[in-house]
């Protein structure tokens, strides 16, 4: 039944059955392996009023922001979500930080800080450091590094590793080494 749902245009009834129980949504996601499949599912979500549902939208967004997905489509899905939660913000920021448009990840991060009641958490920062790294913007990354220190998140190994990577990738090897040495002292 699940493969049929993706290989043919799914009906509103079949989608509703899947959505009513979380494990079915997970199975549906596993069997839809292309953007075409996902777009069919998304069309049905729109038809039955689930496009703005946070859980359904987060599943769509996670697939769109994956390497097999499409970031333009992911952004379109993101903009339809009225109140994105932390998972949704992190997913869209991470997706753009791994794409050919890391500047959009930074813009989204700034939007999150300015417009959203949801504040970044420890899993948000590595993606933003990666985006700064890809853009060679160590000066802005250093400002974010200061924010991480103020928030007391500098001990998080994932954050520290992306800070080291950002400095090194941008050619600031002495700063990268300093963060690395501080990491050794913390252990």
Full-model pTM: 0.81
Mean pLDDT is lowest, of 22-31, 115-124, 126-135, for: 22-31
What's the mean pLDDT when you consider all of the chain?
Answer: 85
CB atoms within 10 A of CB 14: 18
Q: Which of 85, 105, 116 is nearest to 59 (CA)?
A: 85
113 to 152, 167, 176: CA distances (angstroms) = 17, 23, 26
Query: What's the rounded mean pLDDT across residues 127-137?
Result: 98
Contact 95, 62 (CB under 8 A): no
pLDDT tens digit sequence for 5-32: 444 555 555 555 555 455 555 566 666 7
Model confidence at 142, pLDDT cuts 50, 70, 90, reads very high
User: What is the per-residue pLDDT across 35-86, written as a single tens digit (0 to 9) for each?
Assistant: 888 788 778 777 777 767 778 788 888 888 888 789 999 999 899 888 899 9
Q: Which residue has the tokens 């853009």?
A: 135
13-17, 94-98, 99-103: range with lowest mean pLDDT? 13-17
pLDDT of residue 5: 46
Instruction: Please report, rounded to a whole number, the percentage of residues in the chain having pLDDT higher than 90.
Output: 57
CB of 166 closer than 8 Å to CB of 129: yes
């Amino acid at each position: 039944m699940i493969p049929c749902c993706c290989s043919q245009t799914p009906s509103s009834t079949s989608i509703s059955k899947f959505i009513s129980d979380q494990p079915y949504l997970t199975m549906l996601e596993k069997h839809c392996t292309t953007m075409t499949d996902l777009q069919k599912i998304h069309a049905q979500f729109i038809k039955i009023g689930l496009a703005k549902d946070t859980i359904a939208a987060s599943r769509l967004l996670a697939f769109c922001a994956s390497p097999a997905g499409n970031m333009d489509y992911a952004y379109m899905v993101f903009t339809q979500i009225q109140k994105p939660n932390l998972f949704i913000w992190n997913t869209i920021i991470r997706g753009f930080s791994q794409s050919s448009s890391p500047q959009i990840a930074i813009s989204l991060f700034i939007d999150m800080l300015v417009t959203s009641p949801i504040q970044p958490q420890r899993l948000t920062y590595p993606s933003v450091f990666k985006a700064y790294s890809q853009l060679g913007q160590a000066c802005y990354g250093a400002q974010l590094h200061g924010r991480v220190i103020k928030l007391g998140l500098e001990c998080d190994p994932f954050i520290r590793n992306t800070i080291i990577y950002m400095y090194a990738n941008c050619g600031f090897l002495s700063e990268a080494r300093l963060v690395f040495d501080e990491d050794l002292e913390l252990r």
